């Protein structure tokens, strides 16, 4: 664990972005998330870590109501974004998802051109008025996704023709293009080489100035490098949540300690 | 990590050469070879059946596309056609085939005296019978259309009688003519002489595709015109109803409907409907569209509606399968970007499912095109000589359909009709091949568009 550069950056604001109380998630009879309480601050990178199958993705998907698309999934408890309950009957999940963007665990570009992949979000949300604006948004998003240089000559080639890592960065660029307030990233770097990973981490750091970022990762190093807050999940429970530095150097729960030192997982 | 060492050690493997094929590998390879052989023989068997079927239909049906015509001069005698001498269209309309028949008789007698003088036992009656019974009608139509030509002599092309036509197609021979009351050896000899004189020829028969059906006595005049139009109209009805209804209900069931007992029941029923024998749909159509809604019998609209009912389950099932085959990650991606359910479906899922939907729709249409049983029940088997009008009114006019016409012709006694039925099957097959080609082209087009 010596190679961990734990960067303790000050969190600028203490405004709460997501406030989750007593969240329970069930897949049919399977109790996947057990009584999770967590407060996610704005302009912060929060890392979710934990062994495979512990419910990180499940909890992440609660935050933009992507779990609604799974018939057997049931969410209980209170989840609020900027003080508004996102599971309120009045809330349209479509509007929520425009605010809370998501990058999925597996890259899933649309089978359309690279340009159309990026342009889709801005188009449906009416973020741009002219073709020139759209071109600009596409270029900026691709640059932020650290993929511009690789695709600038073939913007109209199919997005599905890219390599796995390139596809994932395309998906990141696509999510960024809609200018969400919160970006949920489910293992965004699992298919990336170290250079692209570094670029994405840079992007995350940059995004923090405007958004909250929540990132699921299996790499302790990455969690330590990019996040200010870390949440450790185990078997559906939130075992420990706090400043990244504290979690990695001074974990309170023995389960956290054994996980980050590599004894369970 | 401790349980790995606890596991029993794998049995020691003998080191073998890679150049030596082990008995196990040999058995596996032999099994694979056997399987390939079975597969290949199955394919060959299927191909052979197809070739036999096609060659028998082609050999029996191709002659229907050729027809024998008699070219002769007919004097349009004014004393027979226009006794008043004023060329009044009202008088012309009153003319009957009885008035023109003598003119044709006169023309054939001229031919007989010119060519048939050395054929023993050739009577005038025999010569007259060599021309189709359709000829007087043809002449009459010509006179009505061109009254100014009365008094002149015009060259006409009449259909030869079905037996004479059969003679040139090998269906009738001198031997068979001796035993046939409807044709005599003398007539065949005269026909040969007429061919030598250029007065009789066999050539491509457009009328087979355009003319309406004809009565039992004149197979040479029967054509598929009304049947093709009727089938076309019905396909239009099916396409306009079954495709939108089928696709809309599949999208709703697949993407929007809640999962509950009601949708389960609907699902089971759709699968069951796809397996219901088509004649049941005919009975349903008879009861609902004709007896209850009082739509006309034999009308393409009723046929189209019945075929729509029959095609809907096929289209719904294939459309749902196509929608299901679109990876859910695509829908997740769109929803995650804040697209609504409908945007997700119409921007992403539907375009990707399009090739499958089109294939299903065209297979459904092809099925409907070849369907016979339900159409018999709603009266499409009627004898129709009038072309239906242009749609939409024409959808309510009586018509027949291609497969029904095939059935109808095979029921008639004259072997010339059997030839025509085979020809009609060829036309039907050509339409089916065209539709399937269209399906393939559309699928390619949509796949490339992604
Ligand atoms: N669509 C689903 N239907 C049923 N059960 C599910 C579904 N998705 C997840 N689960 C269950 O929920 C639990 C948590 O899964 P989840 O995907 O959240 O794990 P994870 O922490 O993201 O794991 P990984 O690190 O491997 O991605 C697992 O037990 C899993 O079996
Ligand atoms: Mg996961």
**ipTM of predicted complex:** 0.88
Q: What is the mean pLDDT of residues B19-42?
A: 93
**Token pair of B2, please?**
């401790």
Residue of B nearest to A99 (CA): B338
Question: Of B144, B172, B205, which one is at a domain's C-terminal end?
Answer: B205
Question: What is the pLDDT at residue B50?
Answer: 94
Q: Is residue B413 part of a domain?
A: yes
Cβ of A112 and B338 within 8 Å?
A: no
Residue of A nearest to B347 (CA): A120
Q: Which domain holds residue B328?
A: 225-446
Considering the domain architecture, whether residues B193 and B321 belong to the same structural domain is answered as no
Considering the domain architecture, whether residues B143 and B94 belong to the same structural domain is answered as yes
Q: Would you say residue B271 has pLDDT above 50?
A: yes
Question: What is the pLDDT at residue A228?
Answer: 93
Q: Give the number of the ligand closest to the Cα of residue A58.
A: 1
Q: Would you say residue A265 has pLDDT above 60?
A: no
Considering the domain architecture, whether residues B187 and B254 belong to the same structural domain is answered as no
Residues whose CB is less than 8 angstroms from the CB of residue B117 and which lie 6 or more positions away in sequence, other chains included: none
- Out of A64-73, A155-164, B115-124, B416-425, least confident range: B115-124
CB contacts of A174 in chain B (<8 Å) are: 333, 337
Cβ of A69 and B335 within 8 Å?
A: yes
- Residue A234: φ, ψ to 5°: -150, 120
- How far away is chain B from the Cα of A8, in angstroms, using its nearest Cα? 31
Q: Is residue B255 part of a domain?
A: yes
Q: In whole angstroms, what is the distance from residue B379 CA to residue B399 CA?
A: 9
- How far away is chain B from the Cα of A138, in angstroms, using its nearest Cα? 15
Residue of A nearest to B1 (CA): A263
Q: Is residue B299 part of a domain?
A: yes
Tell me the CB-side half-sphere exposure of residue B383, using CA atoms within 13 A.
8
Question: Of B205, B240, B269, which one is at a domain's C-terminal end?
Answer: B205
Q: Measured between alpha carbons, how far apart are the two ends of chain B, in Å?
A: 49
Q: Is residue B440 part of a domain?
A: yes
Considering the domain architecture, whether residues B100 and B178 belong to the same structural domain is answered as yes
Confidence band (pLDDT; 50, 70, 90) for B72? confident
Confidence band (pLDDT; 50, 70, 90) for A2? very low
Question: What is the pLDDT at residue A9?
Answer: 52
Q: Which residue's CA is the nearest one to ligand 1's atom 31? A: A53
CB contacts of A102 in chain B (<8 Å) are: 336
Considering the domain architecture, whether residues B134 and B257 belong to the same structural domain is answered as no
Question: What is the pLDDT at residue A261?
Answer: 84
Confidence band (pLDDT; 50, 70, 90) for A1? very low
Question: What total of structural domains would you count in chain B?
Answer: 2
Q: What is the mean pLDDT of residues A151-158?
A: 91
A5: nearest Cα among A192, A205, A264: A205
Considering the domain architecture, whether residues B357 and B390 belong to the same structural domain is answered as yes
Q: In whole angstroms, what is the distance from residue B365 CA to residue B139 CA?
A: 41
Q: What is the mean pLDDT of residues B403-432?
A: 90
Q: Name the average pLDDT for chain B.
A: 86
Choice between B173 and B30, residue whose per-residue pLDDT is larger: B30
Q: Is residue B26 part of a domain?
A: no
Q: Would you say residue A114 has pLDDT above 50?
A: yes
Residues within 6 Å of ligand 1 by CB: A 27, 30, 32, 52-58, 70, 105
Q: Which residue's CA is the nearest one to ligand 1's atom 1? A: A70
Taking the Cβ of residue B338 and every Cβ of chain A, the question of whether any pair is shorter than 8 Å is answered with yes
A237-261 pLDDT, tens digit each: 999 999 999 998 888 999 998 888 8
Q: Would you say residue A184 has pLDDT above 50?
A: yes
Q: Residue B14: helix, strand or coil by DSSP?
A: coil
B349-398 pLDDT, tens digit each: 999 998 889 888 998 999 899 888 888 888 888 888 888 888 788 888 88
CATH of domain A14-260: 3.40.50.300
- Strand segments, DSSP code E, in B176-270 are 200-204
Q: Would you say residue B3 has pLDDT above 50?
A: no
Of the candidates A69, A106, A124, which has its C-beta nearest B343's C-beta? A124
Considering the domain architecture, whether residues B274 and B186 belong to the same structural domain is answered as no
Q: What is the atom index within ligand 1 of the atom nearest the CA of A105? A: 27
Considering the domain architecture, whether residues B416 and B281 belong to the same structural domain is answered as yes
Taking the Cβ of residue A64 and every Cβ of chain B, the question of whether any pair is shorter than 8 Å is answered with yes
Tell me the CB-side half-sphere exposure of residue B17, using CA atoms within 13 A.
3
CB atoms within 10 A of CB A242: 15
A104: nearest Cα among A216, A247, A225, A257: A216
Confidence band (pLDDT; 50, 70, 90) for B8? low
Q: Would you say residue B413 has pLDDT above 90?
A: no
Q: In whole angstroms, what is the distance from residue B234 CA to residue B242 CA?
A: 11
Taking the Cβ of residue A45 and every Cβ of chain B, the question of whether any pair is shorter than 8 Å is answered with no
Cβ of A174 and B337 within 8 Å?
A: yes
Q: In whole angstroms, what is the distance from residue B324 CA to residue B352 CA?
A: 10
Q: In whole angstroms, what is the distance from residue A93 CA to residue A240 CA?
A: 29
Choice between A27 and B19, residue whose per-residue pLDDT is larger: A27
CB contacts of B343 in chain A (<8 Å) are: 124
Q: Is residue B39 part of a domain?
A: no
Q: Give the number of the ligand closest to the Cα of residue A104.
A: 2
- What's the residue count for chain B? 450
- How far away is chain B from the Cα of A177, in angstroms, using its nearest Cα? 9
Q: In whole angstroms, what is the distance from residue B58 CA to residue B399 CA?
A: 26
Considering the domain architecture, whether residues B293 and B191 belong to the same structural domain is answered as no
Considering the domain architecture, whether residues B258 and B391 belong to the same structural domain is answered as yes
Whether the Cβ atoms of residue B128 and residue B158 lie closer than 8 Å to each other: no
Tell me the CB-side half-sphere exposure of residue B104, using CA atoms within 13 A.
28
Q: In sequence order, what are the beta bridge partners of A243?
A: A229
Q: Would you say residue B339 has pLDDT above 70?
A: yes
Q: Would you say residue B195 has pLDDT above 60?
A: yes
Q: What is the atom index within ligand 1 of the atom nearest the CA of A54? A: 21
Of the candidates B259, B329, B338, which has its C-beta nearest A94's C-beta? B338
CB contacts of A125 in chain B (<8 Å) are: 338
Taking the Cβ of residue A248 and every Cβ of chain B, the question of whether any pair is shorter than 8 Å is answered with no
Question: What is the pLDDT at residue B1?
Answer: 43
Q: In whole angstroms, what is the distance from residue A13 CA to residue A62 CA?
A: 24
Considering the domain architecture, whether residues B344 and B402 belong to the same structural domain is answered as yes
Beta-carbon contacts below 8 Å between A and B:
62
DSSP designation for B62:
G
- Residue B390: φ, ψ to 5°: -70, 150
Task: Identify which of A51, A52, A55 to mutate to test ligand 1's pocket (most ligand atoms within 8 A of the CB).
Answer: A55
**Token pair of B99, please?**
């008035």
Q: How close is the Cα of A9 to the center of ligand 2, in Å?
A: 27
Q: What is the mean pLDDT of residues A66-77?
A: 90
Could you tell me the CATH number of the domain that includes residue B359?
1.10.3720.10
CB contacts of B335 in chain A (<8 Å) are: 66, 69, 97
Residue where the block lists tokens 């209804």: B245
**Token pair of B432, please?**
């089916």
**Token pair of B138, please?**
């043809």
Q: Give the number of the ligand closest to the Cα of residue A67.
A: 1
Q: Would you say residue A4 has pLDDT above 60?
A: no
Of the candidates B329, B336, B450, which has its C-beta nearest A112's C-beta? B450
Considering the domain architecture, whether residues B280 and B170 belong to the same structural domain is answered as no
Question: What is the pLDDT at residue A11?
Answer: 52
Taking the Cβ of residue A233 and every Cβ of chain B, the question of whether any pair is shorter than 8 Å is answered with no
B116-146 pLDDT, tens digit each: 777 777 777 888 888 888 888 888 888 888 8
Q: Is residue B178 part of a domain?
A: yes
Q: Is residue B318 part of a domain?
A: yes
Residue of B nearest to A111 (CA): B450
């Amino acid at each position: 664990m010596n190679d961990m550069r734990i960067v303790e950056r000050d969190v600028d604001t203490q405004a709460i972005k997501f406030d989750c109380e007593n969240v329970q998630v069930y897949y049919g009879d399977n109790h996947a998330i057990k009584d999770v309480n967590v407060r996610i601050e704005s302009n912060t990178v929060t890392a979710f870590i934990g062994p495979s199958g512990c419910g990180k993705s499940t909890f992440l998907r609660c935050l933009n109501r992507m779990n609604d698309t799974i018939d057997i999934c049931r969410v209980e408890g209170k989840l609020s974004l900027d003080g508004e309950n996102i599971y309120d009957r009045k809330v349209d999940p479509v509007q929520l998802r425009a605010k809370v963007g998501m990058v999925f665990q597996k890259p899933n570009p649309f089978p359309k051109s690279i340009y159309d992949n990026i342009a889709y979000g801005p188009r449906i949300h009416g973020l741009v008025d002219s073709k020139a604006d759209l071109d600009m948004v596409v270029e900026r998003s691709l640059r932020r996704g650290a993929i511009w240089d690789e695709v600038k000559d073939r913007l109209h080639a199919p997005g599905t023709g890219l390599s796995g890592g390139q596809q994932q960065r395309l998906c990141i660029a696509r999510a960024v293009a809609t200018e969400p307030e919160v970006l949920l990233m489910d293992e965004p770097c699992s298919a990336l080489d170290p250079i692209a990973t570094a670029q994405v981490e840079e992007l995350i750091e940059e995004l923090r100035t405007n958004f909250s970022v929540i990132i699921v990762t299996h790499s302790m190093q990455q969690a330590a490098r990019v996040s200010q807050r870390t949440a450790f999940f185990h078997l559906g429970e939130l075992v420990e949540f706090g400043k990244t530095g504290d979690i990695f150097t001074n974990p309170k729960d023995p389960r956290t300690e054994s996980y980050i030192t590599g004894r369970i997982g | 990590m401790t349980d790995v060492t606890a596991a029993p050690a794998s049995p020691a493997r003998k080191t073998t050469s890679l150049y030596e094929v082990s008995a196990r590998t040999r058995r596996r390879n032999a099994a694979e070879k056997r399987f390939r052989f079975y597969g290949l023989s199955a394919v060959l068997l299927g191909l052979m059946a197809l070739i036999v079927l096609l060659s028998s239909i082609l050999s029996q049906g191709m002659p229907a596309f050729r027809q024998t015509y008699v070219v002769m001069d007919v004097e349009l005698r004014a004393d027979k056609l226009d006794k008043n001498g004023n060329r009044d269209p009202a008088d012309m309309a009153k003319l009957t085939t009885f008035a023109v028949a003598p003119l044709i008789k006169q023309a054939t007698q001229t031919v007989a005296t010119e060519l048939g003088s050395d054929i023993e036992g050739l009577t005038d009656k025999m010569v007259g019978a060599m021309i189709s019974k359709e000829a007087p009608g043809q002449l009459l139509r010509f006179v009505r259309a061109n009254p100014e030509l009365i008094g002149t002599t015009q060259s006409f092309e009449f259909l030869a009688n079905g037996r004479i036509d059969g003679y040139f197609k090998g269906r009738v021979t001198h031997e068979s003519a001796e035993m046939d009351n409807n044709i005599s050896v003398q007539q065949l000899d005269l026909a040969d002489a007429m061919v030598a004189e250029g007065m009789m020829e066999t050539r491509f028969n457009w009328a087979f595709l355009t003319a309406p059906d004809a009565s039992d006595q004149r197979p040479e005049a029967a054509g598929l015109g009304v049947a093709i139009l009727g089938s076309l109209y019905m396909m239009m009805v099916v396409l306009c109803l079954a495709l939108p209804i089928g696709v809309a209900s599949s999208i709703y069931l697949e993407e929007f409907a809640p999962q509950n007992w009601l949708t389960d029941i609907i699902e089971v029923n759709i699968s069951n409907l796809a397996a219901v024998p088509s004649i049941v749909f005919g009975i349903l159509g008879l009861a609902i569209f004709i007896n209850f809604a009082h739509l006309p019998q034999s009308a393409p609209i009723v046929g189209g509606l019945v075929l729509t009912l029959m095609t809907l389950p096929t289209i719904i099932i294939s459309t749902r399968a196509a929608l299901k085959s679109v990876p859910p990650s695509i829908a997740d991606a769109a929803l995650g970007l804040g697209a609504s359910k409908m945007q997700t479906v119409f921007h992403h899922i539907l375009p990707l499912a399009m090739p499958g939907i089109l294939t299903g729709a065209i297979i459904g249409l092809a099925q409907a095109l070849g369907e016979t049983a339900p159409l018999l029940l709603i009266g499409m088997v009627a004898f129709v000589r009038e072309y239906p009008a242009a749609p939409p009114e024409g959808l309510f006019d009586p018509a027949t359909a291609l497969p029904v016409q095939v059935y109808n012709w095979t029921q008639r006694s004259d072997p010339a009709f059997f030839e025509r039925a085979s020809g009609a099957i060829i036309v039907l097959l050509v339409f089916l091949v065209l539709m399937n080609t269209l399906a393939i082209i559309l699928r390619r087009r949509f796949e490339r568009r992604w």
